[in-house]
A = this chain, B = another copy of it.
Amino acid sequence: MIWNTNLRWRLPVACLLLEVALIALFGVFVRYDMDADPHWVQEKVIKNLSTDLENEFYYRYPSFQDVHVMIFVGFGFLMTFLQRYGYSSVGFNFLLAAFGIQWALLMQGWLQSFDGRYILVDLENLINADFCVGSVCVAFGAVLGKVSPVQLLIMTLFQVTLFSINEYILLNLLEVKDSGGSMTIHAFGAYFGLTVAWILYRPNLHHSKERQSSTYHSDLFAMIGTLFLWMYWPSFNSAISNHGDAQHRAVINTYCSLAACVLTSVALSSALHRKGKLDMVHIQNATLAGGVGLGTVAELMVLPFGSLIIGFVCGIVSTLGFVYLTPFLESRLHIQDTCGVHNLHGIPGIIGGIAGAVTASIANIDLYGEEGLAYAFGIERSKLNWSPNTQGRFQAAGLFVSLAMALAGGVIVGVILRLPFWGQAPDENCFEDAVYWEIPKEPKSTALRSEDSSIKPPEP
């Protein structure tokens, strides 16, 4: 096959066409929700609100910005660990997320914020769009280094569409709780990405094996991503929770889970190394599994020690996955998972889904209080025959639906991306920025020193 990686027409045309289409659709469909509309001044009077603070904006803005940082800096820099793929990691993540949030505003809008004529957007829509794109960033981790930006735009287009449908099924039809998206974001994104990676299997990828490792500084750049994901994960899991105690509780639970996860990740990383040394891959990734695993139960009554247990387990399972499962997936199942998303988002996402089913099914009035239970599970809105047991079963069903959608969707999108004209690189040029980026020449370091000495500023 002749690999043509020159994107001079394909990438610009794709970007411009998509953006023009988005503008047209936004023009027809998207308007401000009341909280962001100038008519809100009148609405305040009608609703008898005493203060501007009752605007949804003030409940969610700090969380929104934290989530925004996670998507663009968190995921973007986490993937810069590769020695020669930093531009693409940050840059393509930037591109796909910027496209994805616009498309997600439309897709999620039609399904959830459509008033019959317009999609009415407010801050919650922006958060949900970021969430949706988060699942694309996860999938990007599985195919990192092996796809062109055109392929990424196509993948984003389809994945956002499928994500929105899956989310609609889970949240609106099955009425599951999944505030931090263990199922809808992480498990869905991971298995979607892994399926795509499986279809795009490259038997001769060992030709770019050398570039698939890190350098000293690329690992430090990746830690920027890791830490911003880790620190802001409490915002992620609480961003769209109910006002008040639910947001508050989701933060405490996520904080606890992530802290526990660091200790078990470190423990396993050292225990599994011949000389007891730590591996940056585990510190960069497995330490985050506690946030993934807590995504479904974040606002439920797991209690702080329950959160610690989930973090404890996720750290162990995730590190084990990096050591044993990733090589197995590649050699036996022909799934080349560049970032190990299976260990960070796949399994912990499933753990989170299961934890959610269990936690929901043991909910009771002692734990929540009568009104608390009704508020937490939205029972007043739902059908009368609600019981913790049903909720638990629906939670489990939600997990299966997510996995099924991910696998089916991944196969379809994978087949589309296999077409040979998307500008993908040959196996020996994977994980290499120079394919799609103008790369600066490395400076001659000797030249710098001689200049330095030539400065000779006169003494005062």
Closest to A22 in B: B308
Closest to A98 in B: B262
Closest to A71 in B: B231
User: B372 and A99: CB pair below 8 A?
Assistant: no
Residues of B within 8 A of A334 (CB): none
User: B221 and A220: CB pair below 8 A?
Assistant: yes
User: B35 and A278: CB pair below 8 A?
Assistant: no
Cβ of A325 within 8 Å of any chain B Cβ, yes or no, is: no
The size bracket of the interface on A is 35 or more
User: B52 and A249: CB pair below 8 A?
Assistant: no
Closest to A45 in B: B371
User: A11 and B266: CB pair below 8 A?
Assistant: yes
Cβ of A68 within 8 Å of any chain B Cβ, yes or no, is: yes
User: B266 and A87: CB pair below 8 A?
Assistant: no
With A8-B460, A41-B372, A68-B231 in contact, is A455–B429 under 8 Å at CB? Answer: yes
With A36-B248, A247-B57, A457-B4 in contact, is A72–B264 under 8 Å at CB? Answer: no
Q: In whole Å, how far is A43's beta carbon from the nearest beta carbon of chain B? A: 9
> Measured between alpha carbons, how far is A255 from B442 in the docked complex, in Å?
36
User: B53 and A305: CB pair below 8 A?
Assistant: no
Among listed A164-172, A335-343, A349-357, A433-441, interface-contacting one: A433-441
6 other A-B residue contacts (CB within 8 Å) besides A27-B305, A38-B249, A94-B262: A23-B309, A35-B248, A41-B369, A53-B243, A62-B62, A429-B451
Pairs of residues from A and B, 8 with the lowest C-beta to C-beta distance, nearest first: A38-B372, A8-B276, A98-B262, A15-B267, A26-B305, A52-B243, A40-B245, A12-B271
